[in-house]
């Protein structure tokens, strides 16, 4: 007897339809799985055997052939256990009638329980796109799939439950769709800018960075709140729409996101902060079957690199391509996969090896050569992609002690959203969405500087010995500041502020 079951698997972050064919024929008892299975898929026959026997079914003692089609795609993972088990039951006529139109996914434990798997969201999206009626999946994954519109999400906790549903003996209520429920700001950790006392100019710089999509580098002595500020940046970013949220969640789903991610709701912007010992593969993504790295996990959110010069040189260099293309292509012998990687880079560093070069109260013990070496660990091309450099000074005690509450994130966020809207109308449906992505031609077109401001900029260029690179960057930042100001032209005030955000270009650094 031949049986067919529909299932799915994930490549990169996309779900693919897999047909599982089970044929039971005469012969000595043997079971083979064909269709390029990897070790975890091959092992599935042993799990399926025990699961069937321990759930009160009979494991057919005949010749069983399982084919995973299309046969040229490599299959990995344990998610085919449940569909293979269902296929065997159909082929051995232990299941007589079958509800069609469902995709079946799940790992089995030896006692017949259905265990959660990775990448459910991508598969559920594929299921909706290919007009399937629904998806039968581990109950532990039901919450994840319920963000997808237009399909029934049937969570099962054991094999017997799945069989009852497929035979039509019992109905399982589909999981409630959460797609619209969680929209809006979800901030379960309640991280808010109002908790940071003082550092008003850094907050302003972060606001500009978020508004214009600029990358930012914070430079300051230890203990000045760089990390604290960076962690609160997602709270001032505009809300994600459902498409953005799903795309981000999809990446986390394939990478094996913990349950917490989906419990918190997928509308929270990710904040990734890899330690500086991270390897290039962990940042970019990789593996035999490539898995997304930190840059992709930070998609639509923040990638925070604390102690930037401590990162290995090659790790910093691999960041360049995703910063430019907003996606990253991982090539391996078996597959080539492109992951989205549209993130905002926030970096933090000390001004010198001892950390106190810009501190007013403490003596720096570093030689100019040491400082120069420290700064030059960050290569020019990477620096080129960071628009804003901001010095974070030591917080004054009276700021810390003050009872006056700082501005809450919600206020900042509304300004950011307004500035983003202006940029959206400016760039229309073109390739770029924010000021930071402008090339020099677009800078010329959109950054119309008023005469007075032009003079100020020229003076600043001369007096501060700014480079040609800095010239363009200043104009870009000034454009964003003007957008926050809701001003069509760039005036001297905007230029004056923008010039301040290029501290590394100033000649106080022994470079």
Partner 1 sequence: MKTVDLARAGEEFAVKHLIDKGYTILERNFRTKFGEIDIIAEKSGSVVFVEVKSRTEGTGYIPSEAVDSRKKRRLVRLSECYISRCGEKYDGFRIDLIGLVFKAGRILSVEHLENIIEG
Min. distance of Cβ 61 from partner 1 in angstroms? Answer: 5
Min. distance of Cβ 158 from partner 1 in angstroms? Answer: 24
| CA-closest candidate to residue 297, choices 255, 237, 329, 235 | 255
Identity of the residue, 30 or 71, whose beta carbon is nearer to partner 1 in the bound complex: 30
Min. distance of Cβ 267 from partner 1 in angstroms? Answer: 50
Q: Which listed residue (50, 62, 67, 464) binds partner 1 by CB under 8 A?
A: 62
Identity of the residue, 26 or 398, whose beta carbon is nearer to partner 1 in the bound complex: 26
Round to whole Å and give the CA distance between 472 and 468.
7
Is beta strand 14-25 parallel, antiparallel or unpaired with respect to 271-272? unpaired
- Altogether, the residues listed in the chain come to a count of 511
Min. distance of Cβ 28 from partner 1 in angstroms? Answer: 5
Compute the half-sphere exposure of residue 459: CA atoms within 13 Å on the CB side of its CA: 9
Round to whole Å and give the CA distance between 20 and 35.
10
Min. distance of Cβ 26 from partner 1 in angstroms? Answer: 5
Round to whole Å and give the CA distance between 378 and 397.
32
- What DSSP letter does each residue of 406-440 carry, written as one string? PPPHHHHHHHHHHHHHHHHHHHTTSS--SGGG--H
Identity of the residue, 7 or 44, whose beta carbon is nearer to partner 1 in the bound complex: 44
Identity of the residue, 28 or 369, whose beta carbon is nearer to partner 1 in the bound complex: 28
Q: What x-and-dash track marks residues 2-41 binding partner 1 by CB under 8 A?
A: ------------------------xxxxxxx---------
Provide the token pair at 51: 């699961």
Unique residue bearing structure tokens 């959110």: 301
Min. distance of Cβ 74 from partner 1 in angstroms? Answer: 23
Q: What x-and-dash track marks residues 211-250 binding partner 1 by CB under 8 A?
A: ----------------------------------------
- Count CB neighbours of 332 within 10 A: 12
Number of amino acids touching partner 1 (CB under 8 A): 9
Round to whole Å and give the CA distance between 394 and 170.
66
Ranges within 344-373 binding partner 1 (CB under 8 A): none
CA distances from 269 to 301, 336, 367 (A): 5, 27, 41
Round to whole Å and give the CA distance between 144 and 230.
28
CA 318 centroid distance within chain: 17
Min. distance of Cβ 108 from partner 1 in angstroms? Answer: 18
Ranges within 270-299 binding partner 1 (CB under 8 A): none
Q: Which listed residue (1, 38, 58, 61) binds partner 1 by CB under 8 A?
A: 61
Identity of the residue, 29 or 222, whose beta carbon is nearer to partner 1 in the bound complex: 29
Round to whole Å and give the CA distance between 66 and 21.
6
Identity of the residue, 53 or 458, whose beta carbon is nearer to partner 1 in the bound complex: 53
Identity of the residue, 32 or 465, whose beta carbon is nearer to partner 1 in the bound complex: 32
Min. distance of Cβ 48 from partner 1 in angstroms? Answer: 12
Identity of the residue, 35 or 301, whose beta carbon is nearer to partner 1 in the bound complex: 35
Identity of the residue, 23 or 399, whose beta carbon is nearer to partner 1 in the bound complex: 23
Identity of the residue, 61 or 414, whose beta carbon is nearer to partner 1 in the bound complex: 61
Min. distance of Cβ 57 from partner 1 in angstroms? Answer: 16
Min. distance of Cβ 59 from partner 1 in angstroms? Answer: 9
Ranges within 159-218 binding partner 1 (CB under 8 A): none
Round to whole Å and give the CA distance between 187 and 240.
13
Round to whole Å and give the CA distance between 377 and 438.
27
User: Interface with partner 1 includes 465 (CB under 8 A)?
Assistant: no
Residues sharing a CB contact under 8 Å with residue 13, sequence separation 6 or more, in sequence order = 119, 122, 250, 251, 254, 292, 339, 340
> Which spans of this chain sit near partner 1 (rule: CB under 8 A)?
26-32, 61-62
């Amino acid at each position: 007897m031949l049986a067919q079951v529909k299932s799915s698997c994930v490549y990169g972050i996309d779900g693919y339809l897999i047909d599982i064919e089970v044929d039971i024929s005469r012969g000595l008892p043997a079971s083979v799985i064909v269709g390029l299975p990897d070790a975890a898929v091959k092992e599935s026959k042993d799990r399926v055997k025990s699961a069937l026997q321990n759930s009160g079914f009979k494991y057919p003692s005949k010749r069983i052939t399982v084919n995973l089609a299309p046969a040229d795609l490599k299959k990995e993972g344990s998610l085919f256990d449940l569909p293979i088990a269902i296929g065997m039951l159909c082929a051995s006529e232990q299941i007589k009638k079958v509800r069609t139109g469902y995709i079946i996914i799940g790992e089995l434990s030896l006692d017949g329980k259905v265990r959660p798997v990775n990448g459910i969201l991508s598969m559920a999206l594929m299921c909706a796109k290919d007009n399937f009626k629904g998806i039968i999946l581990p109950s532990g994954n039901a919450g994840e799939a319920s963000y997808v519109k237009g399909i029934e999400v049937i969570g099962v906790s054991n094999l017997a439950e799945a069989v009852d549903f497929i035979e039509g003996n019992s109905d399982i209520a589909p999981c409630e769709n959460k797609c619209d429920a969680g929209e809006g700001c979800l901030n379960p950790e309640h991280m808010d800018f109002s908790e940071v006392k003082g550092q008003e100019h850094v907050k302003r710089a972060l606001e500009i960075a978020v508004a214009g999509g600029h990358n930012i580098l914070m430079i300051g002595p230890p203990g000045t709140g760089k990390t604290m500020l960076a962690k609160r940046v997602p709270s001032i970013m505009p809300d994600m729409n459902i498409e953005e949220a799903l795309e981000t969640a999809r990446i986390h789903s394939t990478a094996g996101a913990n349950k917490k991610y989906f419990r918190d709701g997928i509308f929270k912007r990710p904040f990734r902060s890899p330690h500086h010992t991270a390897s290039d593969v962990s940042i970019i993504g990789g593996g035999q079957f490539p898995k997304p790295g930190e840059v992709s996990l930070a998609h639509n959110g923040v990638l925070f690199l604390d102690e930037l010069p401590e990162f290995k040189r090659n790790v910093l260099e691999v960041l360049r391509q995703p910063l430019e293309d907003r996606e990253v292509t991982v090539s391996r012998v078996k597959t080539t996969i492109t992951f989205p990687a549209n993130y905002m880079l926030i970096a933090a560093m000390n001004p010198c090896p001892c950390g106190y070069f810009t501190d007013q109260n403490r003596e720096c013990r570093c030689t100019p050569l040491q400082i120069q070496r420290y700064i030059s660990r960050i290569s020019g091309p990477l620096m080129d992609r960071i628009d804003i450099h901001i010095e974070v000074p030591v917080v004054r005690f009276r700021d810390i002690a003050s009872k006056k509450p700082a501005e809450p994130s919600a206020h900042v966020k509304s300004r950011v959203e307004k500035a983003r809207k202006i940029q959206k109308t400016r760039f229309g449906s073109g390739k770029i969405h924010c000021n930071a992505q402008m090339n020099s031609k677009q800078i010329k077109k959109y950054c119309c500087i008023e005469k007075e401001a032009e003079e100020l900029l020229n003076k600043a260029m001369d007096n501060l010995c700014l480079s040609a690179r800095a010239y363009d960057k200043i104009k870009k930042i000034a454009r964003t500041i003007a957008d926050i100001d809701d001003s069509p032209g760039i005036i001297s005030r905007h230029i004056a502020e923008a010039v301040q955000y290029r501290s590394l270009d100033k000649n106080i650094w022994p470079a």
